[in-house]
Amino acid sequence: MTELNKEYEEFQNPEPCLVKVQLFEGPLDLLLHLIKKNEVDIYDIPIAKITEQYIKYLEFMKVLNLQFAGEYLVIAAELSLIKSKMLLPKPVIEEEEEDPRAELVRRLIEYQVYKDAATDLSGRDVLGRDVFKRDYTDTFFEQEEEVELIPVDLWSLIEAFREFYKRRSYLWAEEISFESESISIDDKIEQVIMRLQEKPHLRFDELFDDCSSKFDLVITFLALLELARMDNVNVVQESPDSSILISYSGELAIGSY
């Protein structure tokens, strides 16, 4: 029990809400560990002793509130079955009966073979860990998540503008009107295209950076709507809460309007 306490301390984690800790790769790994720890012959496993320790371990994991997969219970049941078979008095000798442990031993050894093979693989000079090649690209090793851009529908666009207009328009509470300077929607479209051609994309609010009046805001927005309607710009966002991005789809040369 003292040993269990020691291990309890070893595995106890300062973070109380940590629920799942991979102590062993699986039940076979745990069994191999117990066999090694007890220094017993794998071909003559003292089943009663190992089973007891195995079940103690599961209980210990339960105490720690660790989850363990159902596979652990399957092996626990197998161990109990083997144990009971070995306890049964041998009937009158018929043939050489197979050791009830044989199948389990076969599995343990097979697993150990691949555990060793895995260690050997890891011991090699692994590309991206120990050795590097030319033109190292992150994408080869890191599956960088491709951001799926979702198209923004008309209503979201209008909603975004409504919000934006509310925030911005106070700047020009007292509208000063320069009738002569008012710009046509066609001219505004050209301006927007020119700005979009300079950059891969503009954020929705950046689009209105050079606006100096409420009228300007509205006409810029109308220009955007027109461009979107004609499929000359792509209006996308990464998620419904992220900023709206506008990019030029390159289908229209300046001057067509």
Partner 1 sequence: MDLTDLKKSIESIIFISDQPVSVDKLSLAFPNYERAQIRKCLKDLVEEWDGLDRGFLLSEVAGGFQFRTDPKYSEDISNYNKKVRKFRLSRPALEVTAIIAYKQPVTRVEIESIRGVDSSGVINALLERRVIEIKGRKEVIGKPFLYGTTSEFLEVFGLKSLNDLPTLKELDEITQNLEPSITPETEIEESTTL
Site residues (CB under 8 A) for partner 1? 25-29, 32, 35-36, 39-44, 69, 71, 75, 102, 105-107, 109-122, 124-138, 140-143
CA separation for the pair 109, 9 (Å, rounded): 31
For 231: left if phi > 0, alpha if psi spans -120 to 50, otherwise beta; the answer is left
Q: How far is residue 103 from each of residues 37, 78, 134, 194, 215, measured CA to CA in Å? A: 21, 10, 49, 75, 83
Closest by CA position to 108, among listed 31, 47, 179: 31
8 A C-beta contact, residue 82 and residue 104:
yes
Q: For the sheet containing 245-248, what is the strand order? A: 150-151, 233-237, 245-248, 202-203
Q: How far is the CB of 77 from partner 1 (least distance, A)?
A: 13
Q: How far is the CB of 97 from partner 1 (least distance, A)?
A: 12
Q: How far is the CB of 7 from partner 1 (least distance, A)?
A: 19
CA separation for the pair 187, 183 (Å, rounded): 7
CA separation for the pair 218, 208 (Å, rounded): 10
Q: How far is the CB of 202 from partner 1 (least distance, A)?
A: 27
Q: How far is the CB of 117 from partner 1 (least distance, A)?
A: 4
Q: Which is nearer to partner 1, 42 or 230 (CB)?
A: 42
Kindly report each contact of residues 125-129 with a partner whose C-beta sits within 8 Å and lies 24 or more positions away, as own/partner: none
Q: How far is the CB of 245 from partner 1 (least distance, A)?
A: 24
What is the sign of the dihedral through the CA atoms of 180, 181, 185 and 191?
positive
Q: Which is nearer to partner 1, 24 or 60 (CB)?
A: 24
Q: Which is nearer to partner 1, 41 or 175 (CB)?
A: 41
Q: Which is nearer to partner 1, 122 or 177 (CB)?
A: 122
* φ/ψ of residue 77, rounded to 5: -65, -40
Q: How far is the CB of 100 from partner 1 (least distance, A)?
A: 13
CA separation for the pair 170, 150 (Å, rounded): 31
